[in-house]
Amino acid sequence: MKYLFDMISKKSSKLATVTYSTSFSLGIRFFSRRFHDPIYAIYGFVRFADEIVDSFHGFDKGKLLARFKSDTLLAIEEKISLNPILNNFQWVVNEYNIEWNLIEKFLHSMEMDLQDITYDQPTYETYILGSAEVVGLMCLRVFCERDAQKYNELKDSAMSLGSAFQKINFLRDLKADYKELGRSYFPGVDLSKFNEETKKKIEEDIEIDFAAGLEGIKKLPKGARFGVYMAYVYFHELFLKIRRTHSNKIMQERIRIPDYTKYLLLFTSYIRHQLNMI
């Protein structure tokens, strides 16, 4: 009765998604049902790897991440794992032909978080590619359902959208990353002197990524479009709030979107989507 184990694996990925990210799990609800389990599988995998490097203090993170990587490769090759999260992830990888190259780039960025790196432009771009852009490409593989032409058409936009989301996360989590984890991702930026001019340059870069990402959303298959658009709307609202917030305050607290605002965004976004106004 392996189907019972596979069912438990799918439920484990969904539980990880719902527990760790209310915003992301809300967006998944608006995908066609056939996309729910695959996207939960991807997020569950990504979330667990991220937890290793961000939360498992007092443990050998490098050793744990290396084991996670080898277990992931083995799961994909053998098409099974006793780790429910990895068992579900190998299913989506094999089902939708997600390249190991994308997974390896993601895990490399997680490895970078364990190193004391002073980021320059090349390492900054490498980190964003692995931590965000390739995750967008994994999801795009699912949305395109083996349509290689559609995937190649939307690939650049998906990467831009992932890049925008990650850079916003960097700004939102500036205090925690810098003061608690000792990380500073923005190249050439001294966070001890973070100011309005520096913040504006980062925001201008994000606006370029957002514009490219939105063009791709408009061309997504119908069953995926509204869910991805909801993620775009949420992050764009977060971006606007960050842009209105002074650089000093960014370094002091984590900027959030209240739940009532999220539901208002959901309502207005649904209307715009139904009227083909995106």
Residue 143 lies in a domain: yes
Least confident of 25-29, 84-88, 107-111, 265-269: 265-269
137 plus 68 within the same structural domain: no
pLDDT tens-digit readout, 201-255: 999 999 999 999 999 999 999 899 998 998 899 899 999 999 999 999 988 888 8
* Residue showing tokens 């989506």: 92
Is pLDDT at 9 greater than 60 in this prediction? yes
Half-sphere exposure of 79 (CA within 13 A, CB side): 4
Residues 95, 113: Cα–Cα separation, whole Å:
30
**Does 218 lie in the same domain as 150?**
yes
**What does pTM read for this prediction?**
0.91
User: Across the chain, what does the average pLDDT equal?
Assistant: 91
Domain count, the chain: 2
Q: Examine the domain organization and report whether 241 and 190 are in the same domain.
A: yes
Given a contact cutoff of 8 angstroms between Cβ atoms, the answer to whether 32 and 2 are in contact is no
CA–CA separation, 76 vs 62, rounded Å? 21
Which structural domain, as residue segments, surrounds residue 208?
A: 114-278
Note whether 31 and 127 are same-domain residues: no
Query: Quick one: 118 and 89 in the same domain?
Result: no
User: Does the structure show a pLDDT above 80 at 23?
Assistant: no
- Can you list the alpha helix ranges (DSSP code H) found in the chain? 2-20, 22-28, 33-55, 61-78, 84-96, 100-112, 121-128, 134-144, 148-172, 174-175, 196-217, 222-244, 247-250, 259-274
